[in-house]
Amino acid sequence: MKILLAADHAGLALKNKIKDFLIEEGFDTEDLGTNVFDKEDKYPEIMLPAAIRVVNDPINTHAIVFGKSGQGEAIICNRLPGVRATVYHGKNLEVIRLARGDNDSNVLSIGAQFVEEEEAIEAVRLWISTPFSNEQRHITRNEMLDSIE
């Protein structure tokens, strides 16, 4: 599984820390930027290539995106049929379990303003390790989500 990483200026520092963690853990990662702090960057331009790659290879590619709240980053990713981005902004890891187990989340959007490095690592580790339940009711719902254009 390749894990794509993308961040705007607000998520840059946390993205780099998570990238180091993933590499140390032996994950195949690809950094899609940003790699320079630019307060004027535009997160839709940065996140969209990651979301497109997930759509084009959903079995072998997932993405973790980072922004100030994680909300806008998830919104742009979720505009593409086949992307199921979930937002994590701290405190309750149950949202990660449900997003993976029920929704087969393939993009994790982290609100860097609200999540410290250790909590982000814990969330990423849980997101990666939690399998999709493969329950028919969830498969049917996910197919409905993926068919909306």
For residue 97, what is the domain's CATH number? Answer: 3.40.1400.10
Structural domain tally of the chain?
1
Residue 146 — pLDDT band, cuts 50, 70, 90? confident
CA 25 to CA 22: how far, in whole Å?
Answer: 5
Distance between CA atoms of residues 100 and 133, nearest Å: 8
Nearest-angstrom CA–CA distance, 43 and 67: 8
Residue ranges making up the domain that contains 62:
2-147
pTM metric for this prediction: 0.95
Band (pLDDT 50/70/90 cuts) for residue 144 is confident
Mean per-residue pLDDT for 106-113?
98
Q: How confident is the model at residue 134 (pLDDT cuts 50, 70, 90)?
A: confident
Helices 117-129 + 12-24 axis angle, to 10: 50
